[in-house]
Structure formats: C-alpha cells, structure tokens
A and B are shown apart, each in its own frame.
Chain A
C-alpha cells in the first residue's frame, strides 16, 4: 500500500526508555520520523510550533511539569489532532488511569514491555492497525486497544 512517511512523537522523561523506544523503531524498517520530547510541556510546545500533525503520539503518563493525562486532555480538545492516534506508554498501569485514559480519548494503552522484541511487535501492530483506520475509513471512536 502507498504508505506515506509516518510521523511519530514520543513524550517521555526517562532517557533509558527513550533509547529503548528509539532502538525498537529503528529495527522496524519503516519510512518514519520520530521526534522525542522530554516532558509534557515540551510536547505541547512542540505541537503548537509545528503545523504538521503527527500520525501517532506516544505519551508517558508520569512526567514532570505536565503529565500524560493532562497532555491527552489538551490534545483531544484541539480539532487539529482529530486524526492523530494517541498511545499511552507507561509502566504505571493501574485500572484507574487505564480507564481514565480511554475515556479521555486515548486509542491505545501500552504497558511498557521489558523485552525489545515485545515492544517491536506491539509497535508494528499499532502502526498497521492505525493504518487500517485511516485507509479503510473505520470509525475512529471505536479505536481502542489495550496491551
């Protein structure tokens, strides 16, 4: 299929987790660009400064300054990002923040895996599923996947 270049943003304050995520993406052999923001405030500044809308935004939940749920709320309040998928990427998976994330408009909830192979598998699935919603005109309201 004629995939256009994939634009991904990761908001994550932990440097090790950033590296882990970066190396998983590198191995996927896709045509992509990955921007990394070090916290929620940086993410919102980045989004406001760029006219291009990302395909998927990966959000860590616990970040200093502005946490993942706050960012999620702001992003979902802006129609500009209506077509961007939002994936929560966290090690803090409680049933509360989990449901709250989906109610506030997250599409994917990923509990950070330990293994790189596991993360790669999840990312690839997320990308193809997102592509299904875009290319086959599926109802985005129903785009909710829990890993």
Chain B
C-alpha cells in the first residue's frame, strides 16, 4: 500500500535543526532559514559531529561565500513561491535584490556561474514543480493555481507547463493518477 504525503519544508527544517543542535548541546539562535547563529564558539570535535549528523539528513554546512549567496537566493525564491498569501506583486528581480540587499545583475551572474542555469529558469522550473504539487496533492483547479501563482491566464500557465515538462497539465495529471492506482 502507498500513502501520499505533503510536507512543510520550512517546518521540517526548523524541527530537525533544533533537535540536532539541542542534542549536541549547542546554544543557538535560528533567525531565518538557512542561517544559524551560535551563541558561543564550539570545539572542532562537536562541529565535526554536528556536520556528520546533519549530513545524514541531506543538510550540508556551506562555507563557500558564493554557494551561501546562491542558497539565500534559492530560499527567497522558495519562500516567495510558497507564500500563503500569494506571490509578491513586484517584479522578481526587484524583490530578490530588495530581500538580499544586492543588485540583481550580480546576483544573477553569480547564480548562473554556480548553478549553470539562470535565476529565471530556476524560478520557472520550481514554479512548475509547485503547479504539479497543487494539482495532484492539493487538488486545486488550473484556474485557482494560475491566480495563486500570478499567471496572466490559464493558457499562459498551460503553455509554460507544456514547455517545461512536454505534457499538458491534464495529461500529466492523468498519467500520475494511473501510476498511483497501479502502485496500490
């Protein structure tokens, strides 16, 4: 039997980090996602052990400045897409540079350098992933999804979906449902 779950990425992360840091008896402050402020210096041994425990959950501590900025960009994009009250109305480039206090052109070239794709393609790709989730797990209609993710029309959403996945949203939904039915 298969059961299907949905999860809150942010909450999973918060709970996991708290548990691990407490287990290592490290005093910390969790200000925003992706950044942990430690109250005191910790010894190498403790640090290594923390690195190891977090790695088990697929969490890596990043110490490369470029990768840190890329991670921040990804976090802002993720938060923006998953905001309950819909996406911000300002242009994405403006939003990102405001949030990260950096001009968009340098963010954009750094992101492409590290990830080999542009911020724009990254956003579209993740937006379409979210559309799939909303369609399959939350059972929203395409009209609801296009409002929530601020597409100008359902046709625009369907075209972008087809461009990225090669399927129309309805065929994608049909195949997934058949796949799930066969698994059970």
Residue of B74, B116, B136, B166 near A147 (CB, 8 A) is B166
- List of A residues within 8 angstroms of B126 by Cβ: 136, 138
Total A-B pairs, Cβ < 8 A: 46
In the assembled complex, the Cα of A90 lies from the Cα of B108 at a distance in Å of: 37
Q: Is the CB of A103 within 8 A of B178?
A: yes
Contact with B along A127-146 (1 / 0, CB 8 A): 01100100011110110111
A99 touches B175 (CB 8 A): yes
Chain B residues with a Cβ closer than 8 Å to the other chain, count: 25
Q: How far is the CA of A139 from the CA of B70 in the complex (A)?
A: 21
The reply to whether B179 and A103 contact each other, CB–CB distance below 8 Å, is: yes
Which chain B residues in 149-184 approach chain A with CB under 8 Å?
164-167, 172, 175-176, 178-179, 182
Distance A9 CA – B159 CA, assembled complex (angstroms): 32
Which residues of A are at the interface with B, using a C-beta cutoff of 8 A?
1, 99, 102-103, 105, 109, 128-129, 132, 136-139, 141-142, 144-147
27 A-B pairs with C-beta separation under 8 A: A1-B67, A1-B116, A99-B178, A102-B175, A103-B175, A103-B178, A103-B179, A103-B182, A105-B179, A109-B166, A128-B116, A132-B125, A136-B126, A137-B9, A137-B58, A138-B126, A139-B132, A142-B129, A142-B133, A142-B136, A142-B176, A144-B165, A144-B175, A144-B176, A145-B165, A145-B166, A146-B165
